[in-house]
Amino acid sequence: MVNEPDALRYRRRLRPTRRGKAMLLLGGALVAAATVAAPLLVPRGATEAGAEDTASLVIPEGWRAKQIYAAVDQALGVAPGTTEQAVPKAHLPLPEAAHGNPEGYLFPATYPIRPGTTPVSLLRYMVDTASQRFGGDRITDGALHHHISVYQTVTLASVIQAEADTASDMGKVGRVVHNRLRRDMPLQMDSTLNYALRRSTLDTTTEDTRIDSPYNTYRRRGLPPTPIGNPGEQAMRAAIGPTAGPWLYFVTVRPGDTRFTENYEAHRRNVAEFNQSRKNAAAAPG
């Protein structure tokens, strides 16, 4: 959700991504970075050589690096923390701007788990896949068109991934971000706060918006310093080719009903409806 000026106080909702909703139904969750839902291990058949793969690990769009590390630990049957501890010595082929942090470049996909797979080999596979998907001329040209780097484009896409209620909303969310950046307005995105606080929650308080963090886009202008998750291709497309429009604000009043507007007063009315909807849901029996 994009907030309006500090004069208006309300509780805010972080929308699960489309894939995130599917994970909720499968028994996973959009969880805090320190806690991770069980990885999806999909049995595989025999290979051409006659050997049998153990499983495939599914990494959903929007998962954070810490979630992925823990999922890899579990999938490979290694001690918790093994994958994260391997990152500094893994020499992953990341852009210089990442400073060795693979957040944003652990590409969401289905990865084979075979005998001999290690945390480093699996992370490298993910980063290599991201480099292939993000390194093409289309992404580079799109980044140049918006006067940002490819790394910043991945960062922008990660915000879109976290904020969009549906895949069809991604282009509009991307446009809101670009419009705010061009006007030097703070992004005021709840998803960046949740990343700073190492959690995923449906509500953000006014107190949360006061934290001292480079990821606090209520207080600091511009994009966050790194991606806040690992975006998929739809979010990347929305980052380089957002839907045309003048919007500066958006709020998901209820699932499937995200309101975009350039008018502050219209946004206030949408927020009031959102708050009433939340209040009604909380008061409903059961």
What angle is formed at CA 255 by the lines to CA 28 and CA 63, rounded to 5 degrees?
35
Q: Count other C-beta atoms under 10 Å from residue 259's C-beta.
A: 17
Q: Count other C-beta atoms under 10 Å from residue 239's C-beta.
A: 30
Model-level pTM?
A: 0.83
List average pLDDT for each run of 10 residues in the chain, which is 286 residues long. 46 35 30 40 49 79 98 97 97 96 98 96 97 91 96 98 95 98 96 94 86 97 98 97 98 93 96 87 78
The distance of Cα 84 from the centroid of its chain, to the nearest Å, equals 19
Joined together, the tokens standing for residue 39 give 């990885």
pLDDT of residue 192: 97
User: How far is 149 from 172, CA to CA, in rounded Å?
Assistant: 21
pLDDT of residue 272: 92
Q: Which helix (H) or strand (E) holds 258?
A: strand 257-261
pLDDT of residue 12: 39
